[in-house]
Amino acid sequence: MHGLSALQQAAAIRAGELGPVELVEHYLDRIERLNGRVGAFSHVAADRARAAAAAAQKRIGEPDLPPLFGVPTAIKDITGTSDMPTSFGSAAFKDFTPPVEAHLVRLLREAGTISLGKLNSAEFGLSAYSDTYAGSSRTPWDLTRSAGGSSGGSGAAVAAGLVPFAHGNDAGGSIRIPASVCGVFGFKPSRGRVSNGPLAHDPVIQLCQGPLSRTVADAAALLDAMAGPVPGDLFWAPPLPAGETFLDRAGREPGKLRIGRFIDPGSSEVDVHPEVREAYEQATGLLVALGHDVEDIAAPFGPAMVEEFTDVWSVRALRIPVADEELLLPLTRHWRARGRAVDSERFLNALQDIQLRGAQAMVTTHRFDAVLSPTGALPPQRPEWFKELGAETDLKRQFLAFPYPAVQNVTGQPSANVPLHWSKDGLPIGVMLTGRLGEDAQLLSLCAQLEAARPWAGRRPDL
């Protein structure tokens, strides 16, 4: 059953060929057998999932069931759920259940999906790997290597077949990085496409909610379920024309597009791995073969942005109040101490600077329908490589591994990891495509065209 896409599962449920109870039990069995190896789930809500599946089973045959009715999913553990714990990836909150739930959690339930629990997240979403009190999320392609972060549990769960698709969120690459190292599709929508409310409004407006999945169509369907403005949101992305869906748009040909490309990470300190270059060149060749015009461009952001982004990110690390900071991981304590050392003038200057540079990058690339770059500069790494020499080296190595994705969080543009390449050692290496602000549908259409030309969903790790 886990070989079916989410949309295939939904169709089988509506046709009476597959039941929600059967499907939920199948995935709970896989989680029991495999989660200890991949570290995807921080909390498994087995009883709640079984109750929801039994209720769904009784509704089979009703007219107008939601498109994803009866399909299992799971929620990243940095997102509020009022019916199960939300730990933010932290031992300081491991027994915390919020009094309210995130809007997207309600929307996914109303869409007919069944949550199997919470997915491991880097503590407070602060790192590009997901090692927490709940365990270490590992890519199913090599269990010695990290599943990325901060949505590492989401990437590992989808890649290991523990759910057909999953929720993630992304404030500095946290959907696209795990998607790349886990060999799945990850989509960060435009700012305001999915509500961050009611509690997760981001003071530096970098956070976006989005899907991770095996197929572009599944991601588009999950985005349809989550997308839409909610009163109280600070930003609303422009809606699709009446009657259209992202799933419909993903099924259309994108037409001939103008695509810019760059591989320069904007810093002489970063050494781009040969396999990453190979993935980038293969993606370029595929785009050209599909009839698109591809043009080399300079990196739209430079090394000066790194220090400013670090200042902003460190202050952002203070947004969650903590009673006992000794319960936090060393890296989180380092981020928070660094944030307290940034005075108000320095923070304001850094925030204004990255926003100005982001705006300039959008102006520079606006003539292109999409921009191609690597997702990361290195293949998947062992989590010990990041942590072995202390917090400062940890931060430096995270930048050396993933220098590309954070700028799209500053600009708010839609951006996707496309899993087109595997290394000679069998490790997934994604490429990143970024669209114009608000043009999520066109970017999904382009990604679906690449998937049709070089399908990846049939590639599965041997677990």
Catalytic residues: 76, 150, 174
Type of residue numbered 173: G
Tell me the chain's radius of gyration from C-alpha atoms.
20
Cα(243)–Cα(224) distance, rounded to whole angstroms?
A: 12
For residue 137 the two structure tokens come to 């999320």
In 3D space, the residue among 312, 77, 80, 350 whose CA is nearest the CA of residue 206 turns out to be: 312
Tell me 243's DSSP state: T
β-bridge mates for residue 186, sequence order = 212, 417
Q: Give the N- to C-terminal CA distance of the chain in Å, as an integer.
A: 16
Contact between residue 352 and residue 410 where contact means Cβ atoms under 8 Å apart: no
CA dihedral of residues 457, 404, 168, 380 (deg, nearest 10): 60
In 80-164, the DSSP E strands lie at 114-119, 131-132, 135-136
Confirm if 397 and 146 have CB atoms less than 8 A apart: no
Give percent helix, percent strand, percent coil of the chain, each to the nearest 5: 40, 15, 45
Contact 248, 223 (CB under 8 A): no
Measuring CA to CA, how many Å separate 27 from each of 35, 59, 117, 189, 317? Answer: 11, 21, 11, 27, 34
Please classify residue 417 by burial: count the beta carbons closer than 10 Å to its beta carbon, then call 0-12 exposed, 13-18 middle and 19+ buried: buried
